Each structure stands twice: as structure tokens, then as C-alpha cells.
Structure 1
């Protein structure tokens, strides 16, 4: 595939597709609230899930309601992760009102390693912050997350790829997003938080992820500034 090296520096409505080298050692930066800027993440395998681990590094100074991860299928939210208006963090399956809520240390201007784990058999769900696990709660025991949808970071999609709300958009940086179709061990998540690659994400693997950018999203090295 032809390699493309493009950094979008001001708002527009163009879409760019990327593949091959993925986002190894890079961040995607959402510099301002919008209702048009987002990144589509293309999975390596279908999101037909009875368990998952979702991890990423997140930095944001936004303190009100914001979407962290959005998976929509057939104009219906299939899996969303939120920071709520009241400061709690939540997971929703196929609902905008019936979620599971956690009080965890808030995201801030420095990168936080954030994970969510869930498995259907027991319904046990947890957030992990810098390798430390929250209390576990039971959510949607026996549920299955269905495939053939669209995964976004940056916007909540009330309908797939549409219905965006500027007040819910993500502002900040996201890096090292990986997802597995099983629950990682505590030791693995702790190691990931320290920067070790313990298992290759079999749904999303940031280092070679296929993705599409729309709007005012900047891709930069995670640790250093690189002028265009």
C-alpha cells in the first residue's frame, strides 16, 4: 500500500485512509471541540464479543461529558465508554441510559493508561487506571456484543458516522489503543501500563492499526514534536 504522511492542521471535511505502519509511537490529537472530527478504527477481526479488554493512553483537560470510545451498529450504540458530566466513568451496551458507572481517578493533562475489561459469563466489569483495578461490578451478564459496526474515537455517533454533538466530542490525545477479545490478566495489564507489549491486540493493535481520519485531527509522535 502506498504510504501517506499527512498532518491536518486546520478544520476541514476531508477523509484520509491509512494502513501499513499503523500508529506506532504516535498519538492522535483532537485540539478543539467539533462535531466533525474523528478517527475510524478498522478492526483486525469482527467485534463479535463475549469478553474484551480495551486499553489506551489518554490525556485530556476537558472536565465535562466526553466520549472516549464509540462502537455503533445499525444506528444503535453497541459499546460506548464515557466520562460522565458528574465525573464518573461508564460503559454502555446497546443503551444510552442503562450503563455501569465507576468512580476512578480522573483523566488529566498527563497520559493515563486506561483499560476496561468485561466478560459475559459472569458480567464482571472493571476499569483499570495505570495498572490498578477498580472494584468489579456485574453488567449485562449473558450479553453478546455484535459485529458489523463502526468504531470511532473523537465523537459519539447517535447514528453510525453521524449525529455528532460538539459538547460530547473528545478533546486531547489518545495513543496506544489496543483491544482483545478476552480479558487480560492483572499482571498483563500492569505490564502494559508500564509500556511493555505483553500480547498483541487481536482486534486493534495500535502499532499496525488501519484507520481513517476526518476533520481536524493531528497525528504526531507520542513523545516528541515533529515539524511538518
Structure 2
């Protein structure tokens, strides 16, 4: 799947409305500058409905939609208050609070907020469920020169952004109406059916300006992998596989690749020596996907996949941080953290990690669920002679193993590609279906060396 990427560091004053159907804005890192400014079709209204979808793993305050005028920085604000565990709607600077929402990390949420100046009532619809109506402000319109911002929360008209309130994640389907949308229309929006698009902001004809690192990509959806027609194979995958096989046959002095289908590596004890060193088919790549399955009962830090080059020991690292309860992906030593994962002991977990040097974005897929995209490192390839290690985490090129970071457990189905795998192919990998094997590392034709006590066994499966 080819993604439509747009990275604009500085924008011109005017923009032609764009159809963003099927697209999303990605806010990949913490910053007090990056934002998207939306242009509304009018400047004065006595009622409003704002709907949007967002996806984040933030565990702190963050703004979701910020509309300011010269007279009020919070003329229409949707804000998550982490300390009080509540969604807030501010209208004409009056705050209404909504508690008890199941605002989970790492999943899409649909949020609609309505307000009417005649009654002064505000209502929040969260994932299709209406809240109670609460009084905010009545008797006067929102009017003046409106500034509508995504990604930041305005503390003044068009500015004073707070680094610790910025949004990090993905956002899509932003619409705004100058009236209170009916419950039926809101339900159709939530269910992604045919609804009346916003007449103030319309995602299908959106005028906007991007400042800083904000990207536009195709919105990811989980695909039914069993439907082979829904998946498009990477255009170069057949050629790359044939080329890889040719390289294997022609490479002198190389170990014979082994087919480990249905097998697993077992790392049975704590040690700072035992490891499996994998041989990659190439030395330079500007994108990567690594997938693996692992099974452990460790309750401490441990490395899952470690790729080092002579210039960087953490060129591509997948690591569990027990202290902060997060999966860490490091690319070219830039650290990306993923919290809120159900990383249970004594069960198999499937983990895929993608990175692309052009956009700099990293994404983790955990047990079939995509997490948010985050910025790591862009503009340069991973290059040099890579050393890829399972069972240990490299603190130096090919070594520096820490006894308390070694992996104990079982590992299987390790694949690596030199491109970002499509969501459909990742889903097929997760479900153990017929997928395109890795062209950098292929579990069915794996070249490796074992050091210390690491065993190869049949992968265990529960019997019916």
C-alpha cells in the first residue's frame, strides 16, 4: 500500500480545499509548534456541533479541538483532563466536565460535541453514547476572527501553546456545523454511514494550513486478511524474494539457511552470553518492518530484537521496559515509547514494528492492533554491516550484553522486510495466514549462529 505523505514545515497563506476522505493527520512527536489551522466557512454562529475521531496513547492532558476568538481563547475547546480523568468542553470560556468515559489508549474514539446559545446547553457524544446535557453559556454567539487549531491548545488567540498539552497521535474526520446535529445524524457519523457533512468544516473539502511536523496519510483500518483480494502484494516482493534466493545460492562461505517453520528458539536461563545471531540479506535500507512472536514470564526489562551497526548500537531495537510498563522501539537511537499494552506473561504475543526514513515514522502493531505512529528519525538509512541478535540487547556493536536485560522464554516466526509492510500483510502475519515472507530475514530460510544454551524445538500449540 502506497501512503500519501505530506510534510510541510512552513506553509503559504492560502490553501485550496482538499478532500481528506480516508486520510488522517498524524502528530508524531511532542512539540509546542506543530499544528493544523482550519479555516471555517463563517465567523459568527449561535450554535455548533463538532465531530472528530482521534487515536492516542497519551497519559497526560491534551487538547483535541481548539477554537479561539480575540475575546476568548476557549470559545469552543474539547480537552482531556488526565488528572481528573474527564473530557472537558469549554464554550465561551465556560467549562463543562464529563467523567466516566472509557477513553482507552491506542484505539480510535469518535467524539461529537453540541452547543446551542439559546438554551446554553452542551452535550457530549462519546463513541456513539450521549452524555447528559449541561449548561455552559447562553444569550450570545461565538463571533469574531476565529482561529481553529488541531494539535495544540490555544491560551491566546492563535498562540501560547503549551508543550505538555499538545496532542500526539492521529486525527481524522473533523466536521463542524453551525447547528446542533440530530441524534440520528450523530449516530450515522459515529457508524461512518452517509451523513450530512459539516457546513463550517467539511473533511471532504477542508481548507487548512500545516505548521511543523504534521503528516497526512491513509487512515489505517484493520483488514480481513482471509480475503486475499483485499490485500495488495508489495510490487517488488516477488522480485526481491527471487533475488534473495539467488544471493543465498551464490554467497560463498555462508551457512546453509534453515527452514524453521513450526519451530521456535528456546532461551531457558538467565545468561549474558547465550544468543542467536541472524544474518541479514542486505546491509543498507531506508525502511524496515520487523515481526516476531515471543513467550515469556519475565517481570523485568528484556530485549526482543537488537540490530546494531558499527556507528550505532541501537539502530533498530525492540525492548520491554518493565519499570515504565512500556514497549520501546529505538530507531537510529531515537526512542519511541508505547504504553497501555496488555503484555501478559505466559502467552504468545505477536509484535510488528515499522519504520520509514522518508517520514521518520515508527509504528508498533501489538497482537494485531495498530498503535499510533510516532516520529523517530528521518533523512538517513540504516547502513553498515548490521549485527542482529535475539536473546540479548547490544550495548555495543555485537556485545555489551547485560545479564538483567537478557530474554528468557521462547521466540518464533522472526521476519524482517526492507519496506513498511501493508496493514493487510501485517494482519495476515498476526493471524498465521499466508503472507509475504521477509526479504531481509525469512524464518523459512534463516541463516543464523547460536552461541550458548539456546535450543530449537517444535513450537508448542494447544491441542483441540
TM-score, reference length from structure 2? 0.43
Q: Does residue 88 in structure 1 map to residue 329 in structure 2?
A: no
- Structure 2: distance between partners of 1:156 and 1:75: 16
- Structure 2: distance between partners of 1:62 and 1:89: 14
- Structure 1: distance between partners of 2:255 and 2:293: 20
- Structure 2: distance between partners of 1:178 and 1:146: 19
Structure 1 residue 100 displacement after superposition: 0.8
- The 5 Å alignment of 1:1-228 reads 19-46=256-283, 48-74=284-310, 76-77=312-313, 78-85=315-322, 86-95=324-333, 98-103=334-339, 104-223=341-460
- Structure 2: distance between partners of 1:143 and 1:90: 21
**Paired positions, count:** 205
Structure 1 residue 76 displacement after superposition: 3.0
Structure 2 contact 300–321 (Cα < 8 Å) conserved: yes
- Structure 2: distance between partners of 1:149 and 1:130: 27
The alpha-carbon distance between structure 1 residues 185 and 75, as it changes in their structure 2 partners (threshold 3 A), is closer
Structure 2 contact 257–448 (Cα < 8 Å) conserved: no
- Structure 1: distance between partners of 2:355 and 2:273: 30
The alpha-carbon distance between structure 1 residues 21 and 91, as it changes in their structure 2 partners (threshold 3 A), is same
Q: Deviations over 1:57-111 (max 9, x none)?
A: 111111211111111112631221111132211122343xx41111122153111
Structure 1 residue 43 displacement after superposition: 1.1
Structure 1 contact 130–190 (Cα < 8 Å) conserved: no
**Considering only CA atoms, is the larger Rg found in Structure 1 or Structure 2?**
2
Equivalent position of 2:123 in the other structure: none
Structure 1 residue 50 displacement after superposition: 1.3
- SS of residue matched to 1:204: coil
Q: Deviations over 1:152-185 (max 9, x none)?
A: 0011122223221100001111100001011111
- Structure 1: distance between partners of 2:411 and 2:329: 18
- SS of residue matched to 2:383: coil
Structure 1 contact 76–158 (Cα < 8 Å) conserved: no
- Structure 2: distance between partners of 1:100 and 1:136: 10
Structure 1 residue 126 displacement after superposition: 1.0
Structure 2 contact 328–337 (Cα < 8 Å) conserved: yes
Structure 2 contact 306–389 (Cα < 8 Å) conserved: yes
TM-score, reference length from structure 1? 0.84
Segments of 5+ residues of structure 1 without an aligned counterpart are 1-16
Mean Cα deviation higher: 191-200 or 74-83: 74-83
Structure 1 contact 25–207 (Cα < 8 Å) conserved: no
- SS of residue matched to 2:404: helix
Structure 2 contact 260–444 (Cα < 8 Å) conserved: yes
CA RMSD in angstroms comes to 1.7
